[in-house]
Amino acid sequence: RICVITLAEAHPLLRSGKTIKNINYQISANCSRLQNKVSGKSKRGAQFLTELAPLCRISSSDGEEYTIYSCIRGRLIEVNENILSNPALLQEKPSTEGYIAVVLPKFEESKSITQGLLTQKEYEEVLLKRRSSAS
């Protein structure tokens, strides 16, 4: 039921081989994802996220900045602080040690969320269509 947020393999940071300069979990003056303190079975204290809630901002060496969004509603269980000291993990191991965050959707919504996900094959087909329409 948990959702691990990672960079998609089609993300510009992974496809173009840009160097990641900085990762910032400070979303606004009053909101830092690093201040998320979760305790207990009911995950008290977890920040609630909507689909459009920013998780972090990633800056690359060429000056580009990318905002990474939650994409699902739920409680923020954990952010990966390891990528702060080793940003290359995002590119070297994006689906394992280079994850961005862990989100726990509401139990009632978890089934509809998983039903709306693409399989690996469907995702690859979407990427192929994007590439062919872009060229």
- Asked if pLDDT for residue 86 goes beyond 90, the answer is yes
Residue of 49, 53, 64, 52 whose CA lies nearest to 15: 64
Whole-prediction pTM: 0.85
Neighbouring CB atoms inside 10 A of 18's CB total 17
Q: What is the pLDDT of residue 64?
A: 92
- Reported confidence tier of residue 130, pLDDT bands at 50, 70, 90: confident
Section 2-8 average pLDDT: 90
CATH numbers and ranges of domains, the chain: 3-133 (2.40.50.100)
Residue of 124, 91, 127 whose CA lies nearest to 13: 91
Where would I find the beta strands (DSSP E) of 6-117?
20-24, 26-28, 31-32, 48-49, 54-60, 65-69, 74-79, 101-104
Query: Whole-angstrom Cα distance, residue 118 to residue 54?
Result: 22
Query: Whole-angstrom Cα distance, residue 37 to residue 110?
Result: 22
Which residues neighbour 82 within 8 Å (Cβ) at sequence distance 6 or greater? 89, 97
- Asked if pLDDT for residue 10 goes beyond 90, the answer is no
pLDDT digits (tens, 9 = 90+) for 28-52: 989 999 998 898 888 888 999 999 9
DSSP-based three-state secondary structure for 43: coil
Section 110-130 average pLDDT: 85
Q: What is the pLDDT of residue 1?
A: 80
